[in-house]
Amino acid sequence: MADNAVTIRTRKFLTNRLLNRKQMIVDVLHPGRPNVSHKELGDRLSKLYKSSEDCVFTFGFRTAFGGGKSTGFALIYDSLDEAKKVEPKYRLIRHGIGAKGIISSKQRKERKNRAKKFRGTKKAKAATAGKK
């Protein structure tokens, strides 16, 4: 029942040959539901545009006041390799493709302050020296 209640409409569709992707604005009508998950949207869009589910990236969704309608952006890449070349790292991490660096802010600050004391190529050596 709830699955059928979701309607997806796309507008401002553009085929971007330079970046090997299709890009569009997505309007989602979801009466009686708070919102629709990115995973479900990706699944629906991949079926609609006959592509792989892991090549669909959705982001920037905002629910309209009063609910029932959300608007956002979707990119559908021709292949996953093209997506890895073009997409920002944070979006790849959200999508479960990229790896997140696990460095604490304190370590980053200490490294930055160590590097402040040097110039040129010695700066890089000083930054890596603390990683014993």
Query: What's the gap between Cα 84 and its chain centre?
Result: 11
Residues linked to residue 69 through DSSP beta bridges, in sequence order:
29
Q: What percent of the chain has pLDDT over 90?
A: 66
How many angstroms separate the Cα of 90 from the Cα of each of 9, 23, 83, 114?
26, 19, 12, 27
Helix (H), strand (E) at residue 43 = helix 38-48
The answer to whether 27 and 9 have CB atoms below 8 angstroms apart is: yes
- Note the pLDDT tens digit of each residue in 53-102: 999 999 999 999 998 999 999 999 999 999 999 999 999 999 988 777 78
